Amino acid sequence: MRVSLKDVAEHAGVSVKTVSNVVNKYQHVTPATRHKVQQAIDVLGYRPNPTARHLRKGRTGILALAVPELGNPYFAELAGAVVDAAAEHDYTVLLDHTQGRRDRELLVAQGFRTRVIDGLILNPLELEAEDLAARTDEVPLVLIGERRYDLPYDHIAIDNVAAARTAVRHLLDIGRRRIAFVGARRDRPSRPAHLRLLGWQTELAASGLAADDALVGRVEGWERADGAAAMAALLDSGQRPDAVFAYNDLVAIGAMRLLAERGLRVPQDVAVVGFDDLTEGRYGMVSLTTVAPDKRAIARLAVESVVLRIGGGAGAPEGPRQLRPGFRLLERESTLGRPDG
């Protein structure tokens, strides 16, 4: 038989309201009473029913997370972190896979799951500002990812320009000067990669070096094969870099494979830096130096933001917030070589 709040109240000798206040972590309960109620909870094995709690507030207890590509390990890891963060707020997460398609992103943003979810966390690639400005769905929306919008929605993303500059600075510090950027989209130059491309350009300029467009490797997508194809195109054009800053780890891994096939050594001939800190990059024959976004912080801030918007009232922020989780550069063999030389 399931233990109820009433059972806990009778065991502790307090009211049901007092037990509810303790369970919901309200502050106006004396330490002695809180201790007595907690003892009763432990003895009886009471477990809160989050579904009933949400229903009493007219909610479903479900958040939606919409990302471009669940097959990409970065988004898979991020989704796991969002699920963990949501559980701390007694929320379940419904995953939507948009494939980076505008029609699917529009469908999600415009509320096709409105009756199912309490809030939406969206990582858009194709939506324009006017698409989101025209949104009529009242379900709270929080944005993650690189696309920047001047709109009344919280946005959580690392500083991609600063992160890219950190990667390029590392390559400069180890003596590299012909640094390529691999991962600019061939068909959509203004889409997410432009912030990391801008960071590459900015750091080179700050060091007195020209950001040579001939050293920009353009891609159709951001998978391993795209990195290999872009690296091959750079080498075939006669533009051999001494370092590569890749849009993400998958592109970097593809580029490293192509370099090996062409008889070039990493890092002796070409140093490589990726972005995302995927597990795969740690265990290759040459471990990958990478920019590691704080995925746990991104997830936590996204969930906290949407939960605040769902709650409304005095605790909710007055206006949209731009939240910037941290990142760090993880230096590994693809730039530093093996410890034994």
pLDDT confidence bin for 332, thresholds 50/70/90:
very high
85 with 117, same domain? yes
Residues 6+ apart with CB under 8 A from 84: 299
Question: 185 pairs with which residues across the strands?
Answer: 219
d(CA 233, CA 339): 32
The answer for residues whose C-beta is within 8 angstroms of residue 232's C-beta and 6 or more apart is 258, 262
Partners of 193 in beta bridges:
none
Q: What are phi and psi of 164, to 5 degrees?
A: -65, -40
- What are the pLDDT digits (tens) for 30-89? 888 888 878 887 887 777 665 555 444 556 899 999 999 888 999 999 999 999 999 999
Whether residues 150 and 72 share a domain: the answer is yes
- Cβ contact 146:210 at 8 Å: no
Could you report the per-residue pLDDT of 4-20, keeping only the tens digit for each?
777 878 888 888 788 77
Alpha helices in 110-245 (DSSP H): 129-133, 160-173, 193-206, 224-236
Name the residue range of residue 99's domain: 57-158+295-326
Residues 177 and 278 grouped into a single domain: yes
pLDDT higher than threshold 90 for residue 168: yes
CB–CB of 293/158 below 8 Å? yes
- Identify whether the C-beta of residue 249 lies closer than 8 Å to the C-beta of residue 76: no
Task: With respect to residue 24, please indicate whether it lies within any of the assigned structural domains.
Answer: yes
Whether 152 and 167 share a structural domain: no
Strands 327-330 and 289-293 come out as antiparallel
Residue 11 lies in a domain: yes
Rounded to two decimals, what is the model's pTM? 0.81
Q: Note whether 273 and 319 are same-domain residues.
A: no
Residue 331 lies in a domain: no
Residue 247 and residue 159: Cα distance in Å, rounded?
Answer: 14
* 169 and 126 together in one domain: no
Residue 174 shares a structural domain with residue 245:
yes
- Burial of 152 (C-beta count, 10 Å sphere; 0-12/13-18/19+): exposed
As for how many domains the chain has, the answer is 3
Q: Which DSSP letter does residue 191 get?
A: S
